């Protein structure tokens, strides 16, 4: 089994990491770039196929040279075998369409056609959810989105998946598709290992890839647009049909509640709190 996981570096939106300026704009320079959190679900799904069915998991991204560390994170935390970075100036400022074109070319350049390509559900910054499906369209493969769990039949070369219908937990369907196939893992995807032998293998592979992550450069391939034989007019900013007409900051929700500030340190403070709360306690 050869699987590839697509990923993107995004600002680390976790509290304590992310930094905004006074006008509420993200400060990219002060905010670290990390692997898109949803893509980790995709990597876990891919890793599960490796544990159960063997093979190799590659991690691919398009972005600036700094994304190497994002790929290393993927190797260290979710155990990718090798890394591919599609990177040069011509690819910069691409929209989802131009990105999909580039990534699909990257997938086609691999010496062996993948059986499965995994993507996460939306990036934390763009939130379009377009790049995965558009990449799949370029490849002309079947796609299964919102995947919760999957089983592979290597003899029949099929993949059977449980997926959320309309992304809603209230309805789950089981679908089957021939491989090669494109899988979008839902954030609810949880790998399951009910066999001891799988868990033992998981442990072996984890130790192996974590050791490898220290020397990730040895397992990293960087391709530019000439390697992929791509015309600069069709990628990057020039190849992006999307026009961003404007950006409006999200208005802050108005505070409708009246607030009374009580100094709890003052002698009468707690007394006042009790008085205020008494009607609620009484059920009035």
Partner 1 sequence: MTDSYEEYEAVVVGCGPGGAAAAANLARNGVETLVLERGVDAGSKNVSGGLIYAEESAPYTIDGLFPDFREEATERPVTENYIHNVAGEKVKTFDIGDLHHHDTAWADSVLRRKMDSWLAQQVHERTRETGGGLLTEVHVTGLLRERGEIVGVTTEELDPIKADLIVAADGVNSELARDAGLMDWEEPEEWFQGVKAVVDVDPAAINERFDVDADDGAAHLFSGDLFDGVRGGGFLYTNESSLSIGTVFHLDSLAEEEAEPHELLDSLLTHPLMAQWLGDEYDEREYSAKLVPDSKKAAHPSPHEDRLVLVGDAAGQMQAQGPIIKGMNHAVTAGALAAEAFADARSRSEPHRAGELYEKKLHDEGVMDKLRPTRYEVFGRLGELGPVDDLSNSVAESAVGRFGVRAASGLLERAYSSPTLVSMIPDTKLPYVTLPTVIAEELGERVEDENTVSPPDLADRIGDLTYDVGDPHIELLDKSFEASGTAVTACPVSAKDFGGGCYRDERVQTNGTEEHLVSLDTQPCVECGTCAVVADTEWEHPAGGKGVEFKQG
b/e burial code for range 230-269 (CB count within 10 A of at least 16 → b): beeebbbeebbeeeeeeeeeeeeeeeeeeeeeeeeeeeee
211 lines the binding site for partner 1 (CB under 8 A): no
169 lines the binding site for partner 1 (CB under 8 A): no
155 lines the binding site for partner 1 (CB under 8 A): no
Beta strand 56-62 pairing with 82-86: parallel
Distance, in Å, from the CA atom of 122 to the CA atom of 243, rounded to the nearest integer, reads 20
In the complex, minimum distance from the CB of residue 203 to partner 1, in angstroms, rounded to a whole number: 7
Site for partner 1 in 217-256 (CB under 8 A): none
Comparing CB distances to partner 1, the nearer of 47 and 223 is 47
Q: How many CB atoms lie within 10 A of CB 6?
A: 28
In the complex, minimum distance from the CB of residue 25 to partner 1, in angstroms, rounded to a whole number: 39
204 lines the binding site for partner 1 (CB under 8 A): yes
Handedness of CA 160, 165, 169, 170 (dihedral sign): negative
In the complex, minimum distance from the CB of residue 198 to partner 1, in angstroms, rounded to a whole number: 9
Quick one: which of 254, 255, 272 has its CA closest to 263? Answer: 272
28 lines the binding site for partner 1 (CB under 8 A): no
Site for partner 1 in 184-203 (CB under 8 A): 193-197, 199-200, 203
Q: How many residues bind partner 1 (CB under 8 A)?
A: 9
In the complex, minimum distance from the CB of residue 201 to partner 1, in angstroms, rounded to a whole number: 9
Q: Give the HSE-up count for residue 232: Cα atoms under 13 Å, Cβ half-sphere.
A: 7
| CB-CB contact of 143 with 61 (8 Å) | no
153 lines the binding site for partner 1 (CB under 8 A): no
Q: DSSP 3-state assignment of 20?
A: strand
Q: The tokens of 240 are what?
A: 């992006």
Site for partner 1 in 62-81 (CB under 8 A): none
54 lines the binding site for partner 1 (CB under 8 A): no
Comparing CB distances to partner 1, the nearer of 30 and 195 is 195
Comparing CB distances to partner 1, the nearer of 193 and 234 is 193
Residues within the interface to partner 1 (CB under 8 A): 193-197, 199-200, 203-204
């Amino acid at each position: 089994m050869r699987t590839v996981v697509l990923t993107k570096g995004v600002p680390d939106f976790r509290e304590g990491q992310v930094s905004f300026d006074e006008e509420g704009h993200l400060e990219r320079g002060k905010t670290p770039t990390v692997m898109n959190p949803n893509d980790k679900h995709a990597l876990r799904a891919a890793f599960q196929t490796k544990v159960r069915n063997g093979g190799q998991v590659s991690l691919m991204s398009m972005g600036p040279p700094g994304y190497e560390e994002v790929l290393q994170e993927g190797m260290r935390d979710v155990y990718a075998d090798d890394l591919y970075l599609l990177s040069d100036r011509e690819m910069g400022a691409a929209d989802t369409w131009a990105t999909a074109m580039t990534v699909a070319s990257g997938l086609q350049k691999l010496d062996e056609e993948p059986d499965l390509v995994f993507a996460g559900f939306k990036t934390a910054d763009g939130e379009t959810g377009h790049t995965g499906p558009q990449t799949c369209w370029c490849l002309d493969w079947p796609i299964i989105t919102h995947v919760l769990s999957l089983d592979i039949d290597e003899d029949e070369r099929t993949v059977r998946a449980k997926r959320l219908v309309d992304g809603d937990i209230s309805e789950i369907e089981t679908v089957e598709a021939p491989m090669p196939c494109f899988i979008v893992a839902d954030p609810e995807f949880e790998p399951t290992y009910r066999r001891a032998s799988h868990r033992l293998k998981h442990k072996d592979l984890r130790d192996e890839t974590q050791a490898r992550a220290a020397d990730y450069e040895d397992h990293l391939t960087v391709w530019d647009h000439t390697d992929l034989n791509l015309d600069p007019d069709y990628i990057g900013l020039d190849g992006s049909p999307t026009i961003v007409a404007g950006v409006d900051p999200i208005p802050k929700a108005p505070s409708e509640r009246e607030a009374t500030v009580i100094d709890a340190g003052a002698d009468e403070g707690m007394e006042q709190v009790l008085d205020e709360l008494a009607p609620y306690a009484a059920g009035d």
